[in-house]
Structure 1
Amino acid sequence: MHNSILLISDEHNPLYSSVYGHDYLQTPNMERMAEQGTVYENAYCSSPLCSPSRSAFMSGLRVHEIQAYSNCNVGLRSEFPTYGKVLKDQGVYTAHFGKTHVYDKGERLGFSEIHYSKDQRWPGDINFSRRPLAIRSDAVERADGFGVKDTAFDDDLSVMDAAIQWLRQTAPVLGQPWCLTINLLNPHFPQWNTQEYWDLYPEGGDLPRYGKEEESAQHPYAQDLRDHFQTEAFSEQQIRGLRRGYLGNVSFIDRQLGRLLDFVQESGLCTSTNIIYTSDHGEMLGKFGMWWKCSLYEDSVRIPCIAAGPDYEKGRRVATPVDSHDIQASLFYAARAKRPDHWSGQPLQTMEEHDAERAVFSEYHGHGTRSGAYMIRKGDWKLIHYTEAPHQLFQLSNDPDELRNVFSLYPQKASELEAELRAICSPELENDRAHKFQQGQLKVLQSSHSG
């Protein structure tokens, strides 16, 4: 039986780290953790958007099962028990520090204690209409969100300081196994840095290698997202600034991970405590002319996943695809607690290094695209199934940047992955349910506005 520390950043595309192969962005503490533990090379979120991804993780269920489709919190279902409550009910002390952004308020999520939850105010994001497609009027202003700000990291430092203080003062006197979750806001936009971090990567103010001229950038859903966020209006200066700032934000997160690793080592927790680093989703960062998340392309839907501690083999790299439900299942495995049978996921600790038959799933029903989309990753192959646009099939082993859609060239492989998808859900049925749920949300918003 072991304790768990889970550090979750916000919007970290793992390809922007030295552990996952970035050319010059240095993440020494992620490297240190990788040497001490296991890197999961192909990890995915449940949905590439904050509230859907976090709600799925919190509940152990798929996004379509809990109907948390977007960042709008009007009329969300809140009856789902959380991993914090289920663990607590079995004698595991559960502490949570930082952002929740899920289907219910932090105080009602059932953790033993929760701090700095920063619940999203009602009604949340109201720009989620897909029929017709909402266009954001503030997108270009968002693109100015980069550069130096003295207070850039103050919120995250408050959360991190409090969590380490909890480890120092509370954890040693609990007398029971515990699970600590820490949620930080970086490297989520805006890309503000303190001067120290801004100065780290002057070469980071570059342009994306693959722009909107690529085949994958021409897909209707990709065009929807560029329209929704008005990214065609971004200037070269804004693109370069956002990209540079993002690198500084990742380095900040890496340093916070280092603080955790230092404390665990210095306090003697190494033999009793696992540490997992991950994020809620990725970031396109200008690839294909697309920004932020909301896409099932790799940069948006991939997440980092590094785990170290007594449950994890040192220096191991696992190629088998995993997802955020597997990460959540690992907390139960470490505590030797029973996880509800109907929850998704398999513990990371039990994952084979190369399982070509394992399939992972992600879905998206949020703002910025005309309709729903679903992803299946299995072995070297990835299917993106769109309900209102041509499907895409990528062979990631020789096309990791998803530049060539080979759907028509490999119909048998496409059918195989579609069968995996339909074993999880009916894409047509769940797409209809999502649209109907969101229409109800829009009616409530219209009624409250007119009233």
Structure 2
Amino acid sequence: MSTTSKQPNFLFLFPDQWRWDWLACAGYDIPVKTPNIDKLAARGMRFTQCRTNSPVCAPARAALATGMRYQNCGVPGNGFNLDTTRDTFFKHLRNSGYRVAASGKTDLQKHGKWKGLDGWTTAMGQLGFTQAVNQAGKHDAVNAGTQSPVDPYMNHLHQHGLAQVHADDYHRRGKILREGAIGPDLKIDATPSPFDSDHHTDDFCGRAARKFLQDWAVSEPWHLWVNFPGPHEPYDPTVAQLAVYDGVDFPLPVQPGPVDNDHQAIRRAYAAMITGIDDWVGKLVAEIERRGEMENTYIIFTSDHGEMLGDHGRWNKAIANEPSVHVPLVVAGPGIEAGTQCDALVELIDLAATITELAQLQVPEEWEARSIRKQLLEDPKATHRDIQISALKDWKLIFDGQYKLVVTQEQPDQLYDLIADENECTNLAEQLPDVVAKLKARLEKEYA
């Protein structure tokens, strides 16, 4: 199968902190409602083995943008900006005639809190965008923009006299969940937002994306990157979103920590944010249908990283466990056989090469990203990578499809058989030293 001769459009749906197993179509015993993403999976292909190259917002997004793994993307942590002189797949699209737009939390310029009151700065243009309504993240927007707005979302709240209401709600929730958060006093608030959909941050992002689609002429190709700030904590869905899960029980965390959090309340709130974003997936797809462009548009859904959600007593992300690094991936569009599943090992950066190739452009040889076009359009059972790599600061992991090795600077090696032990409860490093040695050697080769 092949695509049409006209360059296709791309709707790239990119929520923040969405773990791989929290999709109804993923088949896990989790009563989360994602009907619109499920429809995309039914129309296209769902990938079961996609992992981020680094489970923190800014490094993951920089790696994706540049098509380079963590160690080469130039952003070692959330306190850094992506150098605007770096090559990005956004630049390749723009230079070939695409409209390249973004809404929501891009986090490509994470260190600088200023995003522009309309969401546009010179840096966004330098990174390859032609338009943007670039929001600050859920923490940054409040902490930097309560007194004076630094991004379009807080500007919106200021204009409606709601900025302090938002700040008060944020701060009353107490201790902020830092990366990989754990602690004896870590009590988590999961009460709903004081705002309805008129003022909630994910709805603001969705409306900005829809307006791009409503305003653009159909005559030129476009790539729209929609960066929903949720379901990143704080766990603050609207009252209406939370009502969908009233009385619904979720599986409890794997090996939860000692703090007696209300895990059902937290998981209902996380699910409610997910369903709220799923609603926007449906609205944006409807807008593409209205434009008559479904036959020439690829729709990609994934996330920058996952969420521990209390598993192993941990919250947030930034650690090497599966809930932190394993992300969902669904792709629908021309030439993709409906209702297919692909179990190939895919890294998040591979989407940079995939979009570039599907846009009928040359993928730079120096990129570490590898296109999954073959799996999408020819053979979903084709081998893609034989290993995956993810890293952050003092740890690295390598996964070969069965064994996952985590190497840290100051802790013992961890080896898990993810086929037999998906929840990573049994460290096999001492029992299988030959497997550890083999994976370590390959890891060193990848970092050479």
* Cα separation, partners in 2 of 1:305 and 1:356, compared to 1, 3 Å: closer
In the superposition, the TM-score normalised over structure 2's length comes to: 0.79
- CA distance in 2 between partners of 1:357 and 1:115 (Å): 35
Query: Are positions 1:165 and 2:211 aligned together?
Result: yes
- CA distance in 2 between partners of 1:97 and 1:308 (Å): 21
Quick one: which amino acid aligns to residue 342 of structure 1?
A: E
Partner SS, residue 25 of structure 2: coil
- CA distance in 2 between partners of 1:3 and 1:17 (Å): 25
Name 1:26's counterpart in structure 2: 33
Pick which of 5-14 and 373-382 moved more: 373-382
Query: Are positions 1:88 and 2:94 aligned together?
Result: yes
Query: Are positions 1:187 and 2:209 aligned together?
Result: no
* Cα separation, partners in 2 of 1:411 and 1:57, compared to 1, 3 Å: same
- Per-residue CA distance 1:21-56 (angstroms, 9 max, x = gap): 232212111111111000011111111111111111
Instruction: Check whether the contact 2:181–2:316 (CA below 8 A) recurs between aligned residues.
Output: no
| Matches for 1:37-436 after TM superposition, within 5 Å | 37-73=44-80, 77-103=83-109, 105-118=123-136, 143-151=188-196, 154-172=200-218, 175-203=219-247, 208-212=252-256, 234-237=259-262, 239-351=263-375, 352-353=380-381, 355=383, 358-365=386-393, 372-426=394-448
Instruction: Check whether the contact 1:4–1:334 (CA below 8 A) recurs between aligned residues.
Output: no
Partner SS, residue 33 of structure 1: helix
Instruction: Check whether the contact 1:360–1:378 (CA below 8 A) recurs between aligned residues.
Output: yes
Quick one: which amino acid aligns to residue 318 of structure 2?
A: C
Quick one: which amino acid aligns to residue 274 of structure 1?
A: Y
- CA distance in 2 between partners of 1:115 and 1:139 (Å): 39
- CA distance in 1 between partners of 2:210 and 2:358 (Å): 21
* Long gaps (5+) in structure 2: 1-6, 111-122, 145-177
- CA distance in 1 between partners of 2:247 and 2:96 (Å): 50
* Cα separation, partners in 2 of 1:387 and 1:136, compared to 1, 3 Å: closer
Name 2:12's counterpart in structure 1: 6
- CA distance in 1 between partners of 2:255 and 2:62 (Å): 32
* Long gaps (5+) in structure 1: 125-132, 214-231, 366-371, 427-451
Offset at residue 189 of structure 1 (A): 0.4
Quick one: which amino acid aligns to residue 168 of structure 1?
A: Q
Quick one: which amino acid aligns to residue 236 of structure 1?
A: N
Instruction: Check whether the contact 2:205–2:228 (CA below 8 A) recurs between aligned residues.
Output: yes
- Per-residue CA distance 1:369-402 (angstroms, 9 max, x = gap): xxx1111122222221222211112111111111
Pick which of 175-184 and 244-253 moved more: 175-184
- CA distance in 2 between partners of 1:206 and 1:18 (Å): 13
- CA distance in 1 between partners of 2:391 and 2:283 (Å): 34
* Cα separation, partners in 2 of 1:94 and 1:139, compared to 1, 3 Å: farther
- Per-residue CA distance 1:243-302 (angstroms, 9 max, x = gap): 221010111111111112222234321211100001110000000100000111110101
- Per-residue CA distance 1:102-146 (angstroms, 9 max, x = gap): 24743532212222343868x99xxxxxxxx99999996882253
Pick which of 390-399 and 346-355 moved more: 346-355
In the superposition, the TM-score normalised over structure 1's length comes to: 0.78
* Cα separation, partners in 2 of 1:357 and 1:107, compared to 1, 3 Å: closer
Instruction: Check whether the contact 1:37–1:308 (CA below 8 A) recurs between aligned residues.
Output: yes
* Cα separation, partners in 2 of 1:116 and 1:355, compared to 1, 3 Å: same
Instruction: Check whether the contact 1:17–1:26 (CA below 8 A) recurs between aligned residues.
Output: yes
* Cα separation, partners in 2 of 1:139 and 1:102, compared to 1, 3 Å: farther
- CA distance in 1 between partners of 2:255 and 2:181 (Å): 21
- CA distance in 1 between partners of 2:227 and 2:285 (Å): 16
- CA distance in 2 between partners of 1:99 and 1:76 (Å): 14
Partner SS, residue 282 of structure 1: coil
Quick one: which amino acid aligns to residue 391 of structure 2?
A: E
Instruction: Check whether the contact 1:294–1:364 (CA below 8 A) recurs between aligned residues.
Output: yes
Offset at residue 83 of structure 1 (A): 1.9
* Structure with more helix by fraction: 1
- CA distance in 1 between partners of 2:340 and 2:438 (Å): 30
Size of the aligned set, in residue pairs, is 388
Instruction: Check whether the contact 1:61–1:343 (CA below 8 A) recurs between aligned residues.
Output: yes
Instruction: Check whether the contact 2:180–2:315 (CA below 8 A) recurs between aligned residues.
Output: no
Quick one: which amino acid aligns to residue 362 of structure 1?
A: S
Instruction: Check whether the contact 2:196–2:240 (CA below 8 A) recurs between aligned residues.
Output: no
Partner SS, residue 147 of structure 1: coil
- CA distance in 1 between partners of 2:16 and 2:242 (Å): 19
* Cα separation, partners in 2 of 1:136 and 1:272, compared to 1, 3 Å: closer
Partner SS, residue 276 of structure 2: helix
- CA distance in 1 between partners of 2:60 and 2:254 (Å): 26
Instruction: Check whether the contact 1:146–1:190 (CA below 8 A) recurs between aligned residues.
Output: no
